[in-house]
Chain A
Amino acid sequence: DAKTTQPTSMDCAEGRAANLPCNHSTISGNEYVYWYRQIHSQGPQYIIHGLKNNETNEMASLIITEDRKSSTLILPHATLRDTAVYYCIVRDYSGGSNYKLTFGKGTLLTVNP
């Protein structure tokens, strides 16, 4: 079962920042927060991941609360091509079967012109 909770859908205006929330209140100390997205008819695409500190790359920023129970993915200037389902996933990096990614239903982000 997915360990995260995300809104089913969100809308964002083109050019504005898209802020996608994720709750992971049962996250453990060994678990990272990963974000993937899936554009229609394509395979999932890795976006970003983090453990405690906020992270930024060329695609997005990841803000993790101090208690690590929630996070927000930020697309600073959303474009129409960012319309996709966004998945927030927690993954144990300490060993065992930590290679499995458990995808929930994700958030359908629709970027409107």
Chain B
Amino acid sequence: GAGVSQSPSNKVTEKGKDVELRCDPISGHTALYWYRQSLGQGLEFLIYFQGNSAPDKSGLPSDRFSAERTGGSVSTLTIQRTQQEDSAVYLCASSLAISGGGYTFGSGTRLTVV
């Protein structure tokens, strides 16, 4: 597609429920990243996928967080047993491998845990 698409744009969930956030990167972009941004804070790196290589999960804050990327394209970020501190905007970005150019970010999913 023309840009990085994320869905849903907004998600309100009850504490303890599981949620799935979806990212559809730009066609042909082999690198995909997840970041999150809490209210008034900077962006926090979560996970990175590059082609068929093992993902870099070093930014995931706990084992309740997981992500997968099927077929080298669409990615799903799953948060199990959500907590209120998980409330944030979850941003996905993609790029042409490790390119010299910039990353293209989606508009994010605003997650609110009540």
Contacts and interface: CB of A to CB of B under 8 A. Distances in A.
Contacts of B25: none
A34 B95 CA distance: 14
A102 B45 CA distance: 8
A9 to B, nearest CB: 14
Interface stretch (B63-71, B75-83, B96-104): B96-104
Given A43-B108, A49-B100, A99 B43 contact: no
- Mostly, the B contact residues are strand
A2 B45 CA distance: 12
Contacts of B59: 100
Contacts of A2: 42
Given A99-B33, A99-B50, A46 B102 contact: yes
B111 to A, nearest CB: 14
A100 B45 contact: yes
- Mostly, the A contact residues are loop
Contacts of A98: 98
Sorting the interface of chain A by its residue count into under 10, 10 to 19, 20 to 34 or 35 or more gives 20 to 34
A55 to B, nearest CB: 11
A103 B103 contact: no
Interface string B53-95: 0001001000000000000000000000000000000010101
Interface of B: 4, 31, 33, 35, 42-43, 45, 48, 50, 56, 59, 91, 93, 95, 98, 100-108
Interface of A: 2, 32, 34, 36, 41-47, 49, 93, 97-106
